[in-house]
Amino acid sequence: MLVYVSGGQIRLDYNCNPRAQLRYFFEKRKIWLLKQLDNKMSEGTKKHLERSTDPEIWMKWYHELSSEEESAMDEEDEDEVEDDNLEHSEHQTESEQELSSDEDQGTPSPDVYPEGELEPNSNTFYLGKDKTTKWRKSRANLQVRVRSHNIMKLFPGLKRNARDAVSEIDCIKLFLTENIIQMITASTNIYIEKIKNKFQRDRDARLTDEREISAFIGILFLIGTLRSSRKNAHKIWDNSKGSGVELCYLAMSEKRFRFLLRTLRFDDIRTRSDRREVDKFAPIREIFEIFLANFQNNFIPSEFLTVDEQLLAFRGRCSFKQYIPSKPARYGIKVFALVDAKTAYTFNLEPYVGTQPDGPYKFSNSPDEIVLRLVHPVEGTNRNITGDNWFTSIPLVKKLLEEKKLTYVGTLRKNKREIPLEFLPKKDREEATSYFGFHDKFTMVSYCPKKNRAVILISSMHHDNSIDLDAGEKKLPEIITCYNKTKIGVDMVDQMCEKYNVARTTNRWPMVVFYDLLNISAINATCVYKANHPEKKVLRSDFIESFAWELIKPQIEHRSTIPNVPKEIRRRARHLLGLEEILPPPPPDIPANFIRRCYICSRSRNKSTRKICQKCNKHACKDHMRDVCTACLSE
């Protein structure tokens, strides 16, 4: 590879090898490097690099330049480094499917209908591409009772524990429970004990406690509401220009916050290698499952649930990292989610970790099996599941209805063998037309939104060819209208997570998962609070700030009593808490002209004075004294 600089931009010539030696260099820091190029490189360096074809010289200069940048990323422990792998996900969610000249015929699938039905007839049935699957063109005129599915026995709402959560802090503690805080504290202290010999001073690696971990999480939430989660921590803590966040530097120092970011752990580091032999997700598995149990134990979802995927942005080392070009982040960790389509309450999650080692966590990664595992907490409740064409298949819809007592609405890919040829995109098909295929348990519809396009859906919830009258000239079938209204559950959660995101830049994938759990917990807590206060108009930013303050407050109270903390920090902390300032007893018999240092000035200034405050009997210089008249003094 030939790399040279021209006009302040990097030019690449891929005619030379090796290409792989600079792959990390350009993928990881290319954007940042381009911005720094003209400012940081001298003319001599530029000319030297233009003539150089040795990647080692480029990498050496890059590391020198990188060392000048303040890094907000955590460090990876040498015992935690794992293999890095990137998989290209085939999850495509495009509903409209184009016309293709050749349709894949594949192998026939078994008939989804019982034997003994009427023989196929072109006027009565549509015949699937497998030549065996039959769909009635008209609804069967059968005298039957109203179908029992979608009749729920439990109304959506809160469960017993959540009904008592009246305040903001009570709502978030339904999900961020004490046992989670205790586990994080214990795991973090185990890791600190392991690395503390690398620090010269013991106080730089002191152990943490539950109060400090709660405050640390509260700071993450607070920074998220300020839309500053990716902001340099120094700018958040630095208040020299009045732009710092007071709650943050009153709760802990910037150095301590960075230390906790690097050392935060969620499992016992001493036994992780053994657990990783059977579970790739071992570093955060236990806490992840506690969060899921809390999600499911405090809320009853509505009748419509959405199954879809999240992509948690991450470009570090991870053996199950995914590449999805249709997602904004493109690279990251894939998590499948089951979300209430009406309230955006997340009910279940499952991370995608690729092929697990042999053991209790080895499951099939087929779309059907993923959906069946996600809906396990709600099976038998007669709810409806909505999914895109990556999840949807005829056997899945049938199994959900017959075994799980759940209906399903979703789009189908045109390569499914049960779809009739008439339902596929065609050149001569008119816009806004719909073809329906019926079975006793399913209804299939093909809708033409525009020329050479078709949207194909399957539903076990609908059993007629109703058209939505509110759609106007589009003449949308009610199946499509229902799908459009209920497919947005996971997308809503993604948008809400991104708006007040707590995630900071990190090199450790367990932190990425933990940030997502915090984001989802805040959304779920908001749903609980709104259900308990239906008369209130709740702003999510105000709600998060309220419980973040409650998480941080005990740490500020504790810090205001520590003598080693700077006086100004303690004074402002007590003022914020509404406490009276603790004044030292007046010194006995101070001579009239006794000289002492001003108690307000910093030690670097070292201002001496003879003036004494008549109220507190402390020495203060003229810059910190105010003259008042006798009338004001008496008041």
Please tell me whether residues 188 and 240 are part of one structural domain.
Answer: yes
Euclidean distance between CA atoms 261 and 428, whole angstroms: 61
Are 13 and 45 contained in the same domain? yes
Shared domain check, 217 and 128: no
Q: So what's the pLDDT on residue 70?
A: 42
Report the chain's terminal Cα–Cα distance, integer Å.
81
Segment 325-364, tens digit of pLDDT:
888 889 999 999 999 999 999 999 999 999 999 999 999 9
Stronger pLDDT, 109 or 82, i.e. the higher one: 82
**How many distinct structural domains can be found in the chain?**
4
Compute CA distances 417 → 103, 389, 541, whole Å.
10, 14, 49
601 in a structural domain: yes
C-alpha span between 97 and 286 (Å, rounded): 41
The reported pLDDT for the residue numbered 89 is 76
The tokens describing 163, both together, are 């009904």
Rounded percentage of the chain residues whose pLDDT exceeds 70? 77
pLDDT tens figures, 231-273: 999 999 998 888 889 999 999 999 999 999 999 999 999 999 9
Cα separation, 179 vs 181, whole angstroms: 5
Pairwise CA distance, residues 335 & 510, whole Å:
13
Name the DSSP letter for residue 455: E
Whether 438 contacts 133, CB under 8 Å: no
CB atoms within 10 A of CB 24: 11
**pLDDT higher at 634 or 330:** 330
Q: What is the pLDDT of residue 596?
A: 81
Higher pLDDT, 82 or 438: 438
Phi, psi of 171 (to 5 degrees): -70, -45
- 308 within a domain of the structure (yes/no): no
Of the given ranges (112-126, 184-198, 580-594), which has the lowest mean pLDDT?
A: 112-126
Which of 471, 486, 501 corresponds to the end of one domain? 486
Structure-token pair, residue 341:
């389509």
> Could you read off the pLDDT of 535-585 as tens digits, one per residue?
989 999 999 999 999 999 999 999 999 988 888 899 899 999 988 766 656
Place of tokens 């970790």: 353
Mean pLDDT for 197-204 is 92
Provide the whole-model pTM.
0.79
Residue 24 has pLDDT above 50, yes or no: no
Most confident listed range (23-27, 436-440, 459-463, 522-526): 522-526
Q: Which helix (H) or strand (E) holds 217?
A: helix 210-225
Confidence tier at 167 by pLDDT (50, 70, 90):
very high
pLDDT score, position 459: 95
pLDDT band at 625 (very low <50, low <70, confident <90, very high): confident
Cα–Cα distance measured from residue 491 to residue 309, given in angstroms and rounded to the nearest whole number: 9
Question: Would you place residue 219 in the very low, low, confident or very high pLDDT band (cuts 50, 70, 90)?
Answer: very high
14 within some domain: yes
Q: What percent of the chain has pLDDT over 90?
A: 56
Collapse the DSSP code of 596 into the 3-class scheme (helix H, G, I; strand E, B; otherwise coil) and give the result: strand
Asked whether residue 398 falls in the same domain as residue 475, the answer is: yes
Last residue of a domain, one of 28, 47, 66: 66
pLDDT at 582: 66
Strand partners, 467: 477
Radius of gyration of the chain, Cα coordinates, nearest whole angstrom: 32
List the structure tokens of 336: 């499948």
| In-domain check, residue 204 | yes
pLDDT digit string (tens) for 424-433?
998 888 999 9
Instruction: Tell me the pLDDT band of 71, cut-offs 50, 70 and 90.
Output: very low
- Count CB atoms within 10 A of the CB of residue 466: 12
Query: Is the per-residue pLDDT at 117 higher than 60?
Result: no
Confidence class for position 39, pLDDT limits 50, 70, 90: very low
CA angle in degrees (0–180, nearest 5) for 321-325-326: 120
136 φ, ψ to 5°? -65, 145
Residue 344 belongs to a domain: no
For 541-559, give the DSSP string.
HHHHHHHHHHHHHHHHHHH
Residue after which a domain boundary falls, among 468, 486, 504:
486
Same domain, 139 and 211: no
Both 169 and 268 in one domain: the answer is yes
Measured distance CA(590)–CA(587) in Å, rounded: 6
User: Dihedral through CA 374, CA 376, CA 381, CA 385, nearest 10?
Assistant: 20
542 and 632, same domain (yes or no): no
pLDDT at 15 (0 to 100): 42
Domain-embedded: residue 116: no
Q: Are residues 422 and 523 in the same domain?
A: no
Question: Is the domain of 589 the same as that of 606?
Answer: yes
Q: Which residues of 395-422 are buried (b: 16+ CB within 10 A; e: fewer)?
A: ebbbbbbeebbbbbbbbbebebbbbbee
In whole angstroms, give the CA distance from residue 346 to residue 491.
11
The pLDDT of residue 291: 97
* Residue 6, domain member (yes or no): yes
Give the relative orientation of helices 394-403 and 367-374 as an angle to the nearest 10 degrees.
30
How many Cβ atoms are within 10 Å of 65's Cβ, its own excluded?
17
| Predicted local confidence at residue 388, as pLDDT | 93
Q: Are residues 215 and 235 in the same domain?
A: yes
Mean pLDDT of the chain: 83
pLDDT at 14: 41
Cα angle for residues 74, 290, 215 (degrees, 5° grid): 50
Give the pLDDT mean for 167-180.
96
Q: Which helix (H) or strand (E) holds 43?
A: helix 43-51
Cβ contact 109:135 at 8 Å: no
pLDDT tens sequence across 452-503: 899 999 999 998 899 998 888 889 999 999 999 999 999 999 999 999 999 9
Q: Does residue 237 share a domain with residue 183?
A: yes
Range of the structural domain that residue 429 is part of: 124-153+389-486
Distance, in Å, from the CA atom of 383 to the CA atom of 404, rounded to the nearest integer, reads: 10
177 within 8 A of 162, measured Cβ to Cβ: no
589 burial (CB, 10 Å; 0-12 / 13-18 / 19+) is exposed
Domain identity same for 176 and 261 = yes
pLDDT bucket at 610, cuts 50 / 70 / 90 = confident
Per-residue confidence (pLDDT) for residue 58, from 0 to 100: 55
* Pairing relationship of beta strands 346-351 and 331-340 according to DSSP bridges: antiparallel
Does residue 296 carry a pLDDT above 90?
yes
* Residue with more model confidence, 89 or 523: 523
Q: Is pLDDT of 182 > 90?
A: yes
* CA-wise closest residue to 556 among 259, 218, 243, 181: 218
Residue 68 binned pLDDT confidence (cut-offs 50, 70, 90): very low
pLDDT > 80? residue 40: no
pLDDT: is 522 or 40 the higher one?
Answer: 522
Distances (CA, A) of 398 to 37, 113, 201, 251, 442: 59, 11, 65, 55, 8
Answer yes or no: is pLDDT of 375 > 90.
Answer: yes
Q: Does a structural domain hold residue 505?
A: no
Cα→Cα distances 523→176, 261, 503, 552, Å: 12, 23, 15, 19
Q: What is the 3-state secondary structure (H, E, C) of 282-345?
A: HHHHHHHHHHHHHHHHCEECCCEEEEEEEEEECCCCCCCEEECCCCCCCEEEEEEEEEECCCCC
| In the block, residue with structure tokens 């000048």 | 68
